[in-house]
Amino acid sequence: MDTVTTSISSASVLSSSFPLPAGTREALDAFFRSFGFSQESDLSRLAVWALGARRVDSREAALALARERMEHWLAEALGQAHVAHGALLARGRAAFVLCEGARWGAAVLLSAPGALPVEFTRALRASVPVPAPRPLPTTMPEQTLTTWSLGELLRRWWRVGEPDVSVSR
């Protein structure tokens, strides 16, 4: 029996010729859309890049591989100064979206972070959100209440009618 292999360009089959479980390509597309990519050609290239030559059994495994690849790329692109603060994927995604990294196309992720254009690297690093301290429950400091005397109240009322005079003085 002869077998014929045809190249199918569909959303469920990548160029590595491994069939993907149902919904995996859509999940990968949604993941990369959150970085600002919208072109179908970019999304398909990024799905192949995220999975590499690995066979995945579920969409969760594919998303885990994509997150791992993105975190590794972001760690190299942002440098150690930004990696140490934690939440690398969230902060890196915010920086990538803020500097409009998707307008450079999928080639920016497919290239090594050391080979990125200098202006892109500068814009990406400048766009990283600064982590804020976690909110903690505290007690409000005691405040003093200044009450107005009756004479002060009358003086303010009397000055309302004067032109070019502030009521607060």
Dump pLDDT digits (tens) for 119-129. Answer: 988 999 898 88
Whether 72 is covered by a domain: the verdict is yes
- Which of 139 and 87 is assigned the larger pLDDT? 139
Whether 150 is covered by a domain: the verdict is no
- Which of 23 and 86 is assigned the larger pLDDT? 23
Whether 34 is covered by a domain: the verdict is yes
pLDDT band at 11 (very low <50, low <70, confident <90, very high): very low
pLDDT band at 1 (very low <50, low <70, confident <90, very high): very low
Amino acid in position 82:
H
**DSSP letter assigned to residue 166:** -
Would you call 164 helix, strand, or coil by DSSP? coil
Give me the domain span that covers residue 81.
22-127
13's CB contacts (< 8 A; 6+ apart) are 19, 20
Total structural domains within the chain: 1
Question: How far apart, in whole angstroms, are the C-alpha atoms of residue 75 and residue 77?
Answer: 6
State residue 16's pLDDT score.
Answer: 46
Question: Taking 80 as the threshold, does the pLDDT of residue 104 lie above it?
Answer: yes
Over residues 25-39, the mean pLDDT reads 91
Whether 57 is covered by a domain: the verdict is yes
